[in-house]
Structure 1
């Protein structure tokens, strides 16, 4: 079965708190924590707005769950 990015993101909606740890990306919702991308000790927040896996890092910027996976795994 071939899936495009839009379909993948749609299927992941609301599941990011389980998807990210399954990929080895540990996140705590609404807490300052180490950034899984740059390693900064207290600059990252995972807020998961609208179930999209949204996050913000004071150095790396912001994005959704798919963008976080892209940044962590290159």
Structure 2
């Protein structure tokens, strides 16, 4: 099964296996929903994913207002 065109939810995407998985899936054509409890690490992972050219939506789960504004 190809991840191309699919949405991949990757927890722990800020570092280690989670980050590597997010990047590999993005390179294979998946859209990535990356999450991590460490905001700075997650931002670095998002930058790596952006450099591949994958469409993304940035939001934080630390605020109920921000969560509900995502739709």
Question: Which TM-score band applies after superposition, normalised by the shorter structure?
Answer: under 0.3
Higher helix share: 2
Structure 1 length normalisation: TM-score? 0.26
Scaled by the length of structure 2, the TM-score of the pair is: 0.26
